[in-house]
Amino acid sequence: MNFKYLGILDEDIAEYWKISEHKNKPILVFDDRKQHVIDKHLKDFGSQEEIEKIYNNLSVIINKPDYVFYNKNTNGLEYYKKISSDVCVAVRVNSGKVLKVKSWYPANKTKLKNRMKKEEDIKFIEESEKIEQIS
């Protein structure tokens, strides 16, 4: 099966999300993923051309995301980027030597806002804990 190299898991992202054992692992997308997205998300994107456009920009999304979140429930990273619209690229985090793109789909604005809100809450709690430790 053929694949496309997209980049690596950035060290800062890995350390921030406390998955540093995965830092600098290559992120790949395998050919079958494009068909998966066509089968599952064609209606969401509106056209196969839009799916192809995102596929051709996956390395941009991985290397210059607007936001990256780690989802503990799915053990995956979610890379968000505004291309023609907001897009999410889901990357599976596993113990292997590489990380693999599972899928990409239009980003739900509500989900993105909730992720950002949750992240702000986490930062607030962590900063409060640091202040308490210093006091």
β-bridge pairing 86-92 and 76-82: antiparallel
Cα-based distances in Å from 85 to 20, 26, 98:
30, 26, 28
Q: Check pLDDT > 80 for residue 132.
A: no
- pLDDT tens digits, residue range 18-52? 999 999 999 999 999 999 999 999 999 999 999 99
- pLDDT tens digits, residue range 83-117? 878 899 999 999 999 999 999 999 877 777 777 77
Domains located in the chain, CATH noted: 3-107 (3.30.2310)
* pLDDT number for residue 120: 59
Question: If you search the block for the tokens 């897009």, which residue do you land on?
Answer: 87
> 118: pLDDT confidence band, cut at 50, 70 and 90?
low
The DSSP code for 121 is H
